[in-house]
Amino acid sequence: MASGKGLGQFFQPSYWVIKREPSSWAPPRGLLQSNVDLDPSLARDRRWRSWMFLFMWASDSVNVGTMQQASSMIALGLSYREVIPCIFIGNLIVAGALTANATIGAILHVPFSIICRASFGVYGAWFPVVSRLILGLIYFGINTQILSSCVHVMLSAIWPSFRALPNHIPEHIGITTSGMIAYIVAWTIQFPFLIIPPVRMRYLFLIKSLVMTIATFVILGWSVNRAGGGGPIFSQRATLTGTEKSWAWMFCINAAMSSKTTLAASISDFSRYSRSPRDQYWQVILIPFCYTLWSIFGIIVTSASHVVYGEFIWDPTKIIARWDNRAAAFFMALAFGAGTIGTNISTNSVAVSNDAIPKYLNIRRGAILCAVLGGWACVPWNLQKSGTVLLNFLGGYAIFLAPAVSVMICDFFLVKRQKIVVPELYQPDGRYRYLNGMNWRAFVAIAISLPINLPGLMNVMNPKTIHIGGLRYAYKASWLIAFSMGFTTYYLLNLIFPAKDAMSSRQLLAEDALEEQEKAESMSYESGKISKNLSTLEQDPLDRIPGI
């Protein structure tokens, strides 16, 4: 009986409710319940310094996707001389937005989902949070699939017969037996790393950046040595001319910006642990430098592969899979696999686990949910199979997130001028309630930024049936258009229709509010004590004698 009762409690929602911290500013009940992972970060946890962000971006930039990006841009018809500046400029622009958003987290010491409440409203914040969560789940699955490719190379290096393993999975499933085995192994290896709290991930980024740097220089050196140089790409001229070339250049800049939009939105999940806001500023230089450098390495490796294998191979793991030295292939695949895990955690897992349903999910539970939904429910091997349409949609999803990022930045620095009352970000009826919990100005700003870009998104998803004429060129600058229109519209709306109730005359952080609260309680206690003594003195002296 007791056993049955004990088992039954797991099916009760109340069993999974996370205990509210006594120091939390959030209400004990309702939709805005919080947990220790969403509460303002404690002073003892603010240990991230500038060099830790250096390792974070060094580790994030060194991955298969970065090395593929530049090569895919060259395939559009541009030369390497034109592609490299595109990557640098695109990353420099998005780094500015990312650093601004990171600074907000470093000042307020709260995560992305809480910061959104200041500009979108306590309930309206669900829009950017859920948008980021959906992307995080899908990209988590895609990166896990990339990780499984590394594991496949490793297993094939140990057991060469693994490549020829008979397939017993129907073709329409989209994956082979050996591929499924590699995927299960990859998912299992990755799982323990997902539950590492963000405050301790700086060591993971340090290790990953060192391992991936060594691995990249190894494959770079091997490629140049075998090819006897950089390969044909460096003597290849652009095949595009005139207007088409200019728009291709704009498209590449836009692609570089779009690929970082998810991190630009949720970077505060990491920057909240910064020692000082000044530790964020170096990211403006670090991001374009790191991503441009590793993109150049990707170009060299891809170019050299044409000399060695007779074809351009954009994916470094596919080059490694062709190596005859099994030990070298194993350790290189291990290094690239480790890099993929680090990227998956920093860009996807943390955002999903840190921002979803705080009443029931903390970072650890959220990571488990992300691993299950993103790793299995999204069926990532089919995502890769369906390919172009989905990937175009994911790339185009930046037209929704970019204006959301611009709204957050505009609201904090221009509209409210950094004067945010942090405790009220957790209150359902506080100053950030706006109209029924939503700030209509933020949603109007996003809505106005969409019409010019939506036709382009529909066109790239189905170019054969949807023709939009000259609007297709506007979509090649979709990130800049969405960001600038969202920013400008939100600022103008606040000039014309200011949200006076949401404004504050000063900035109040959580620790300052707690200190003021303690002082107020102390003064109240002293005042009460004095009043009690005065009341006693006013009594008849006989009344104070026991027994009288």
Residue 85 near residue 291 (C-beta atoms within 8 A): no
435 strand-pairing partners = 438
With cut-offs at 50, 70 and 90, classify the pLDDT of residue 513.
confident
Q: Which residue has the higher pLDDT, 240 or 3?
A: 240
With cut-offs at 50, 70 and 90, classify the pLDDT of residue 388.
low
For 48-102, how does the pLDDT look when each residue is reduced to its tens digit (9 = 90+)? 988 888 888 887 887 777 877 887 788 888 999 999 999 999 999 999 999 999 9
**Reported pTM:** 0.88
- How far is it, in rounded angstroms, from Cα 373 to Cα 531? 60
User: What does the pLDDT read at residue 355?
Assistant: 60
With cut-offs at 50, 70 and 90, classify the pLDDT of residue 390.
low
Q: Which residue has the higher pLDDT, 539 or 168?
A: 168
The arithmetic mean of pLDDT across residues 261-270, rounded, is 92
In SS3 terms, 13-70 reads as HHHHCCCCCCCCCCCCCCCCCCCCCCCCCCHHHCCECHHHHHHHHHHHHCCHHHHHHH
Across 198-268, the runs of DSSP E, i.e. the strands, are none
- How far is it, in rounded angstroms, from Cα 452 to Cα 435? 28
Look at residue 380 and tell me whether its pLDDT is greater than 80. yes
274 strand-pairing partners = 48
Task: Tell the residue number behind the tokens 């498209």, with chain if given.
Answer: 251
- How far is it, in rounded angstroms, from Cα 191 to Cα 472? 41
With cut-offs at 50, 70 and 90, classify the pLDDT of residue 344.
confident
- How far is it, in rounded angstroms, from Cα 41 to Cα 430? 21
User: What does the pLDDT read at residue 206?
Assistant: 83
Look at residue 528 and tell me whether its pLDDT is greater than 90. no
Q: Taking all residues of the chain, what is their mean pLDDT, rounded to a whole number? A: 86
The arithmetic mean of pLDDT across residues 419-438, rounded, is 94
**What is the distance in angstroms between the CA of the first residue and the CA of the last residue of the chain?**
61
Task: Tell the residue number behind the tokens 């680090």, with chain if given.
Answer: 342
Residue 320 near residue 333 (C-beta atoms within 8 A): yes
Residue 425 near residue 117 (C-beta atoms within 8 A): yes
Which range has the worst mean pLDDT, 193-197, 202-206, 442-446?
A: 202-206
